[in-house]
Chains A and B, each alone.
Chain A
């Protein structure tokens, strides 16, 4: 245990040292919330990866590859496609974010639809949908600590140790805000995804050459995916891909990373830098999981495939490396999630209705982060057997933010009535449909509950866009917003004119509603 816990302790101290050396005092709430919009493409790329590929992805998708096989590779495809969406929305999001000092996803929706009520409603949907994934991240640390303790800890004790470690890590997240999150993402990301790919490739090599495991030795069912005539329905694979693609940028913790870049160029370059790393890491993880299904013990506990195979392949040293990789990926997601949610609590809920200065907002954000860490840690220690079902439901719910988010960015019509009604009805419908028919809807040819609800959400949004007349003043306001994006076509122009910066709350409030 000295080897495994020693490796983890060394990694933890390394991250703390990096954070301590890079500390800069935040002057404003925007510095705290979006790191002063100061990060280049390399930091942006690693920051995206560290939020998008949490430790729970390594355990859950590694486990999915080990249990269902080829279908799990849809994960790599939709990850690429979601980055295309990022590429397309990089410019409007960053330009509006910079010009109006936006700090959250909900800020952007409030600005676009000229309604301050968009802010708390969309924030609540995002926070509620994201909570199960935060708990999942903490539970994945339970697997980690149970294995690196060589099973001397029970699972519940291992969860508590994991929660304590990640809770300790949050001291630096609360202290340093988004700047600390992005800087640590670089160190954690290099270890998790570059180091992780090397370790996974080594274990794949070991399984092929020493154990003789290849695709040919797997059961035929592992190599097929659901199609026409399957119990899931003919549109099930399509549904998984589309939900994943549009859902990727609906999570508030991921969306806020669009604001931390120092320009549109950095955002677009980060997309080009992140996708090859994501493709190679994702493919290695899934091939590893599929081949790992042949190692004794994995079939019974597929979510633990990385720990079981690493110990079998290289003993305690490789198990320690696997532990550090999962910890590095988990830290990046959990601290980013907690930071983004704390910012939303201050900015979108409390700050939406009370005028607060920068110091008060930072204080509330920090307090919110402490409470969220304690609350999610408490939930993670409870007996929650259906947590993964709740997490799937969360994904179906969060994509309801996609309609106002993407149509709001690319279509000048649409109003806050349609956006709020569509999101709310879509959210409620997704919960009801998922309750009665989890995973997929047979009567909808395998579509998921979230996609069916999304169609209703979209219909409401479009109907309101055409049925509710847009006032001349509102049309001028929206035209001015879109003109601002066009005006930046010449390049990454810094917007520094006097009076250019406005608080997003003032903008939304002045727009009426």
Chain B
């Protein structure tokens, strides 16, 4: 259902790319192994920083996806 112009199912392809990046950042085991120790990142425990930073990145992707679809006129306004 590629509608052309970098859009699939009405969603811009760069948004799909961001979603894939979301999944990779959250689910790649070597990233989990790199933050197992009691180390600090910006004064915060590394594991907590990782989980919250990835969550914030995913949160931003969802907001961007909705705004991109509104801007593209996907909702018929």
Listed in ascending order, the chain A residues whose CB lies under 8 Å from chain B are: 70-71, 73-74, 76-81, 83-84, 87-88, 91, 215, 220-221, 223-228, 230, 234-235, 237-238, 241-242, 245, 263-265, 268-269, 271-272, 275-276, 279, 282-283, 482, 485-486, 489-493
Contact among A91, A238, A271 with B29 in the assembled complex (CB-CB below 8 Å)? A238
Query: Which residues of chain B (50-77) have a CB below 8 Å from chain A?
Result: 51-52, 54-56, 58-59, 61-63, 65-67, 69, 73-77
Chain B residues positioned under 8 Å from A84 (CB to CB): 19, 22-23, 58, 61-62
Q: Could you tell me if B47 and A269 are in contact, using CB atoms closer than 8 angstroms? A: no
Q: Which one of B58, B74, B77 has the greatest number of beta carbons of chain A within 10 Å?
A: B58
- Asked if A76 meets B9 with Cβ closer than 8 Å, knowing A225-B47, A226-B36, A490-B76, the reply is no
Q: Could you tell me if B62 and A224 are in contact, using CB atoms closer than 8 angstroms? A: no
Q: Could you tell me if A271 and B26 are in contact, using CB atoms closer than 8 angstroms? A: no
Q: Which residue of A lies closest to B29 (CB)?
A: A238
Closest Cβ of chain B: how far from A222's Cβ, in Å? Answer: 8
Chain A residues positioned under 8 Å from B65 (CB to CB): 87, 268, 272
Listed in ascending order, the chain B residues whose CB lies under 8 Å from chain A are: 1, 3, 9-10, 19, 22-23, 26-29, 32-33, 35-38, 44-48, 51-52, 54-56, 58-59, 61-63, 65-67, 69, 73-77
- Asked if A492 meets B9 with Cβ closer than 8 Å, knowing A81-B58, A241-B26, the reply is no
Q: Which residue of A lies closest to B64 (CB)?
A: A272
Q: Which residue of A lies closest to B34 (CB)?
A: A227
Contact sample, A vs B, 23 pairs, CB 8 Å cutoff:
A70-B48, A73-B47, A76-B55, A77-B26, A77-B58, A80-B26, A80-B54, A84-B19, A87-B66, A223-B46, A224-B37, A225-B32, A225-B35, A226-B36, A227-B32, A228-B36, A241-B26, A241-B27, A268-B66, A268-B69, A272-B63, A279-B52, A489-B10
Q: Which residue of B lies closest to A226 (CB)?
A: B36
Q: Could you tell me if A223 and B1 are in contact, using CB atoms closer than 8 angstroms? A: no
Chain A residues positioned under 8 Å from B3 (CB to CB): 489
Q: Could you tell me if A223 and B55 are in contact, using CB atoms closer than 8 angstroms? A: no
Q: Which residue of B lies closest to A493 (CB)?
A: B76
Q: A221-B38, A225-B32 known; 4 other A-B pairs, CB under 8 Å?
A: A77-B55, A264-B75, A271-B62, A275-B58
Q: Which residue of A lies closest to B76 (CB)?
A: A491
Interface of chain B: mostly helix, strand, loop or mixed: helix
Q: Could you tell me if B51 and A492 are in contact, using CB atoms closer than 8 angstroms? A: no
Contact among B22, B28, B32, B36 with A81 in the assembled complex (CB-CB below 8 Å)? B22
Q: Could you tell me if A223 and B45 are in contact, using CB atoms closer than 8 angstroms? A: yes
Contact among B10, B46, B59, B75 with A80 in the assembled complex (CB-CB below 8 Å)? B59
- Asked if A215 meets B1 with Cβ closer than 8 Å, knowing A227-B33, A238-B27, A242-B27, the reply is no
Q: Could you tell me if B36 and A224 are in contact, using CB atoms closer than 8 angstroms? A: yes
Contact among B22, B45, B59 with A276 in the assembled complex (CB-CB below 8 Å)? B59
Chain B residues positioned under 8 Å from A275 (CB to CB): 58-59, 62-63
Q: Which residue of A lies closest to B44 (CB)?
A: A215
- Expressed in whole angstroms, the Cα–Cα distance for A476 and B28 within the complex equals 39
Q: Could you tell me if B52 and A283 are in contact, using CB atoms closer than 8 angstroms? A: yes
- Expressed in whole angstroms, the Cα–Cα distance for A493 and B10 within the complex equals 13
- Expressed in whole angstroms, the Cα–Cα distance for A228 and B46 within the complex equals 16
- Expressed in whole angstroms, the Cα–Cα distance for A81 and B9 within the complex equals 20
Q: Which residue of B lies closest to A445 (CB)?
A: B29
Chain A residues positioned under 8 Å from B56 (CB to CB): 279
Q: Which residue of A lies closest to B43 (CB)?
A: A215
Chain A residues positioned under 8 Å from B54 (CB to CB): 77, 80
Q: Could you tell me if A238 and B32 are in contact, using CB atoms closer than 8 angstroms? A: yes
Q: Could you tell me if B36 and A227 are in contact, using CB atoms closer than 8 angstroms? A: yes
Closest Cβ of chain A: how far from B7's Cβ, in Å? Answer: 9
Q: Could you tell me if B75 and A223 are in contact, using CB atoms closer than 8 angstroms? A: no
Q: Could you tell me if A492 and B62 are in contact, using CB atoms closer than 8 angstroms? A: no
Q: Could you tell me if B29 and A235 are in contact, using CB atoms closer than 8 angstroms? A: yes
Q: Could you tell me if B23 and A81 are in contact, using CB atoms closer than 8 angstroms? A: yes
Q: Could you tell me if B1 and A491 are in contact, using CB atoms closer than 8 angstroms? A: no
Q: Could you tell me if B33 and A485 are in contact, using CB atoms closer than 8 angstroms? A: no
Contact among A223, A235, A491 with B48 in the assembled complex (CB-CB below 8 Å)? A223
Can you list the 3 inter-chain pairs with the closest CB atoms, starting with the nearest?
Answer: A491-B76, A227-B36, A73-B51
Q: Could you tell me if B69 and A70 are in contact, using CB atoms closer than 8 angstroms? A: no
Q: Which one of A74, A225, A230, A234 has the greatest number of beta carbons of chain B within 10 Å?
A: A225
Closest Cβ of chain A: how far from B11's Cβ, in Å? Answer: 8
- Asked if A215 meets B45 with Cβ closer than 8 Å, knowing A80-B58, A225-B35, A491-B74, the reply is yes
Chain A residues positioned under 8 Å from B69 (CB to CB): 268
Q: Which residue of B lies closest to A290 (CB)?
A: B48
Chain B residues positioned under 8 Å from A491 (CB to CB): 73-77
